[in-house]
Every structure is written in structure tokens, then in C-alpha cells.
Amino acid sequence: MDYFKECMLQIDSIFYRPNQFMVKNVSEEVQNREYAGGVFQLNQLSIRFRVAKITPTKIGQFVAFWEKDPLNKNQAFHEKESPDLLVVTTFLGERIGQFVFPKGVLIERHILRTDSQKGKMAMRVYPSWDSPTSKQAQATQKWQLDYFVEFTDNRDRFKARLETLYGR
């Protein structure tokens, strides 16, 4: 089984199915295969999905999200073609979490390309279990944690947080 399908099955069984979220129209984005890149529908929401990677020398996890332009060069996704949410899943041993970034936040944070901003093709994410030391990383983690949920044994709290992030 390939990495994308394996990740989707795991996320569906842990996050979505037990909480009555319906996944459909799943499609891999092969240009970001290294990050289990794909898109799908979750109930009425359109989702761009990635799995972040732990890097050996820096705190946090790295994730890429880009497309090819007509000249076959990498570029940030444009707001007009972007799904409702960018979902970035993070793993550390037995810990698993998701960042659920709404399109509006991605525009505000200059991550999506617009007619007036270049956007970003990748970023570092800082799950709740990370303790960044640089001021910039701490500031990034601070805003990112507003959009983070960690899978926990407290099912009620986990479900409530999941429903908040996914707008139910």
C-alpha cells in the first residue's frame, strides 16, 4: 500500500469515522507524494491533506504544499483554487495531531498565493508537544495551536475540539 492511502486509512479510522465525518472523492496529489499529499471532501468541506515530517536538526515538523505553473515551475497554491481547509497531520511516536487551517487564515498568514502576495510552498508546524526556542518559532506555534487538535484518550474533549476546527 502506498504512503498516501496508508495515512488516509489511519486518519479516517482515528479522526473521521468515529466522529461521523464522511470522507469521499479522495485523490492523491502526486507532486507532494513525500508528504502524503492529497485532496478530498469531508462532509461538505473541501480538504487539502498533508503529513508533516520530522527533520533531524530543527524543532517542529516540515510540510510542503505546491503545484506546478504552466511553465512547470513550483508555485504556492492560489486562493481561488484552494480548498476550504489545509489539514496537516503530525506524528511523534504514539502521539498524533492535526492542524486544521481555514483558507482565510492561510491568506492572512501569506501562505496562499493571491493576486497581491506570492504565498508559500512549505512551512514548519509546531505541535503542542514541541517546545521551540527561537522567538519566531514560538510566535508561529502560538498562532498555529489555535488550529491544532491532538488525539487523546479524553474522547469528549477530542470530539468537541475536532467539531470546532471542522466547523460542525
Angle at 28 between CA 162 and CA 6, to 5 degrees: 65
Contact call for residues 83 and 103 (beta carbons, < 8 A): yes
Helix (H, G, I), strand (E, B) or coil at 34: helix
The pLDDT value given to residue 1: 58
**Residue 53 pLDDT class (50, 70, 90 cuts):** very high
Taking the C-alpha atoms of residue 100 and residue 84, their distance in angstroms, rounded to an integer, is 10
The pLDDT value given to residue 167: 87
**Residue 80 pLDDT class (50, 70, 90 cuts):** very high
Does the pLDDT of residue 168 top 70, yes or no? no
Average confidence (pLDDT) over 71-90: 95
End-to-end CA distance of the chain: 32
φ, ψ of residue 107 to 5 degrees: the values are: -70, -50
Give CA torsion, residues 124, 15, 166, 30, to 10 deg: 50
Taking the C-alpha atoms of residue 165 and residue 85, their distance in angstroms, rounded to an integer, is 10
| Global confidence as pTM | 0.95
Residue listed under C-alpha cell 487523546 = 152
Domain 3-165 CATH class label:
alpha beta
User: pLDDT of 120-163, one tens digit each?
Assistant: 999 999 999 999 999 999 999 999 999 999 998 788 999 999 99
Residues above pLDDT 70, as percent of the chain: 99
**Residue 27 pLDDT class (50, 70, 90 cuts):** very high
Which strands form 53-54's sheet, in the order they lie side by side? 53-54, 61-64, 122-125
